[in-house]
Amino acid sequence: MLSNDEFIRQSLELNLFFIRILKEHSFFLEAAFSPKDQSLALQADTLRCEFTTLLAETIMLADGVISPEVLSSGELVTKYTVDAERATEFYSGILLDTELTHMELSLDKNLTPVISSLLVDQISALNQKAITATTVLADYKSKLLKDIFSCKVFTFNYPLLIDHILREARFYLKILYQLQNRQVVNILEDIIDQEKFWDRIMAEHAKFIRGLLDPTEVALFETANRYGKVFDALTKQALTMTEQTIILPQLSSKTYKATVSLRNFKSAATEGLIQCKIRALAVPLLADHVLREANHYLRLLNTFNRRLC
Ligand SMILES: [Fe+2]
């Protein structure tokens, strides 16, 4: 059974990462509807506000509690997030609460956790609220995807992007339930599960970038296409892994190198979009969003590689 310390730290680290991700998913959904589907946009807006409130609550509880490793990983906020939010607010007219980003940037980097039974209860309640909101958002994405596949609704998001963000919501829910049950995960099983999940996510990010670039961006298109293929191959290999597989450390270290390279590409793309140097159908926040997911995966891979050595 997970100790109170681990329950609190793991819950806050998970929520800080995923609640912002889901807040942005709600934004990407909201901003991509036609004028005809404003009621769907409004539902997404309500969900975005709900995740904004949850993020504010999580930041307040997290000060001095989460590890310096997570704080410095670039998975919660990056040096681009505030500018990406400002530019995206300017393009969309939808407010993104940069104040929360500033609060996250100034979270205390020294661990000074005061583990009280009150904090344990507050975290448990926070996880429960996150489960409820994420379930509503996952249902919304799932219904939207069905309606898109049957040509009842049109959106400017790729259907694969909606499927992708639905998988992310379900993955987050699975971990939230494990935490609420105080389940200690089997390390090898966790490594394999995470690699199977995130390799596919990274492959799809590369393909989204490829598909959202202006046709004149030939060099970036080719680089993104290459990353798509690299991560398709890594996904294929990860899917064959079992707890007995002896090449798992080798695969994890290869995956780490590929993810560093993709992360650097995403970082350059985020900067290029903010500085108006790249032509694309993507707002800067989408680039910063996928950059944070790569940083999250890198932190996990780092932990795995340490454990596998
Ligand atoms: Fe993603």
Listed by start position, the domains of the chain span 1-66+107-184, 186-309
CA of 96 to the centre of ligand 1 (A): 19
CA of 212 to the centre of ligand 1 (A): 15
Q: Determine the CATH number of domain 1-66+107-184.
A: 1.20.1260.120
CA of 115 to the centre of ligand 1 (A): 33
CA of 290 to the centre of ligand 1 (A): 6
Burial grade of 168 (CB within 10 A; 0-12, 13-18, 19 or more): buried
What the block records as the tokens of 191 is 């490594």
CA of 160 to the centre of ligand 1 (A): 11
Which residue did the predictor score with more confidence, 65 or 296? 296
Tell me, yes or no, if the two domains 1-66+107-184 and 186-309 fold the same way. yes
Give yes or no for a contact between 206 and 62, defined as CB atoms under 8 angstroms apart.
no
Q: What is d(CA 149, CA 152) in angstroms, rounded to the nearest whole number? A: 8
Which pLDDT value is given to residue 124? Answer: 98
How much is the mean pLDDT over the chain? 95
Q: How many other CB atoms are there within 10 angstroms of residue 158's CB atom? A: 16
Helix, strand, coil % in the chain, rounded to nearest 5:
75, 0, 25
User: What percentage of the chain has pLDDT greater than the value 90?
Assistant: 88
Burial grade of 113 (CB within 10 A; 0-12, 13-18, 19 or more): middle
Predicted TM-score of the model (pTM): 0.97
Q: What is d(CA 43, CA 26) in angstroms, rounded to the nearest whole number? A: 9
The string of pLDDT tens digits covering residues 141-173 is 999 999 999 999 999 999 999 999 999 999 999
The string of pLDDT tens digits covering residues 26-61 is 999 999 999 999 999 999 999 999 999 999 999 999
Which residue did the predictor score with more confidence, 184 or 305? 184
Which pLDDT value is given to residue 10? Answer: 95
Q: Determine the CATH number of domain 186-309.
A: 1.20.1260.120
CA 175 to chain centre: 14
Q: 188 pLDDT band (50/70/90 cuts)?
A: confident
User: What percentage of the chain has pLDDT greater than the value 70?
Assistant: 99
From residue 106, alpha-carbon distances to 76, 102, 109 in Å are: 12, 6, 8
CA of 250 to the centre of ligand 1 (A): 25
HSE-up of 27 (CA within 13 Å, CB side)? 25
Of 209, 234, 220, 212, the C-alpha closest to 301 is 234
Residue with tokens 């590890």: 67
Q: 15 pLDDT band (50/70/90 cuts)?
A: very high
Which pLDDT value is given to residue 109? Answer: 77
Q: 304 pLDDT band (50/70/90 cuts)?
A: confident
CA of 80 to the centre of ligand 1 (A): 17
Q: What phi and psi, each to the nearest 5 degrees, are found at residue 33?
A: -90, 155
Residue 33 pairs in a beta bridge with 155
